Amino acid sequence: MIPIRDTIRSKTYPVVNSLLIGVNVLVFVAEMSQGRALDRFVFIHGLVPARYSLPQLSGYFTLVEQITPFLTFMFLHGGFLHLLGNMWFLYIFGDNVEDHLGHARYLAFYLLCGLASGVSHLALNWHSQVPTIGASGAIAGVMGAYFILYPRAKVLTLVPIFIFIQFIELPAFLFLGIWLLFQFFNAAGASAHAGGIAWWAHIGGFLFGILFLRLFDLLPEMGADRRFRHFTQKRSTPRLQVIRPVTPQSDGNDYGVISITEREALMGTKKLVNIAHGLKKRTFLLNIPPGITQGSQLRLKGMGRPMPDGRRGDLFLKVRIRD
């Protein structure tokens, strides 16, 4: 299953989430530039359990060199697809968690989840000599937080069924629950000392993400972070809005709601509107005039459902102005 988008829109721009994605990409470029020294680079900066369990190996590293991999391992990746998959999941789920926690607390939360996932892997693969790398554990923590915060959000999911591709909207708790079960099944079927994907790091990151979310919610948001939110607050609603209209039994017309900000109501705006009737969707450009007020209705002639006589009803969109 591949998530395409979720239905929860963040109120602020995900500055830290975007920064984390950028840093991961830059580190990957630096990693790929190592050439023949790549294996040594990964062994030094990745998390290798045997470096801590085998005295004959740990003696080759200083204390600083033994500590830094707990941070650096979560910014390394085993290939382009590994990077792409991790960054895509972070892009989908990270913005809303950052929106909830605030920028500074989200950064601390992300790094702690990555650290906890690394410790989980270390404890369960104590003698492994295979380097563990990747942001998966930290991102699993973000997904654990999302699971608690937005369980009923919808996640548009690409589901390949044999040679067919289906797009299905799943509740977030179901999508993330299936993902977590998949991690457990793979972890149970893998050897405790095998290399490859660090399944237990994913599970540990997810569970610690739930725990850390509860702890961080007890901590007050810093004043500087609250002030910074003022500058990162989004001033407009999404350019593309999906509307699922309702058709009363006694009326051939469709009725829906479109959301705009106070600034958009004052100045006027244009939105791409996607009208969903079951599996059928129609997209068009809607011009919202300046000066429109809360509760106003926009009448779109002939954009409703087809009626028995062959004519189409109208679509009425009620304007909802957000703060």
pLDDT tens-digit map of 145-190: 999 999 999 888 888 777 777 778 889 999 999 999 988 887 776 6
According to the CATH classification, is domain 2-232 in 3.30.420.10?
A: no
Q: Which CATH class is domain 240-322?
A: mainly beta
Alpha-carbon torsion angle 75, 76, 80, 82, nearest 10: -80
Report whether 316 contacts 255 (CB < 8 A): yes
- Residue range 37-87, pLDDT digits in tens: 999 999 999 999 999 988 888 888 889 989 999 999 999 998 999 999 999
What integer best gives the mean pLDDT of the chain? Answer: 86
Map out the domains of the chain as residue ranges.
Answer: 2-232, 240-322
Q: Contact 219/100 with Cβ under 8 angstroms?
A: no
Which residues, 6 or more positions from 77, have their beta carbon under 8 angstroms from its beta carbon?
24, 28, 31, 83, 86, 133, 134, 135
Give me the mean pLDDT over the 109-115 stretch.
95
Q: What is the pLDDT of residue 69?
A: 93
Q: What mean pLDDT comes out for the span 289-311?
A: 84
Give the pLDDT of residue 189.
Answer: 67
pLDDT one-digit tens code per residue, 243-299: 878 877 666 788 888 888 888 888 888 888 877 665 566 778 888 899 999 989 998
Summarised one tens digit per residue, pLDDT across range 190-220 is 654 444 567 788 898 999 999 999 999 988 7
Closest by CA to 291, choosing from 316, 257, 321, 317, is: 321
Q: What is the pLDDT of residue 280?
A: 62
Whole-number pLDDT of residue 252: 73
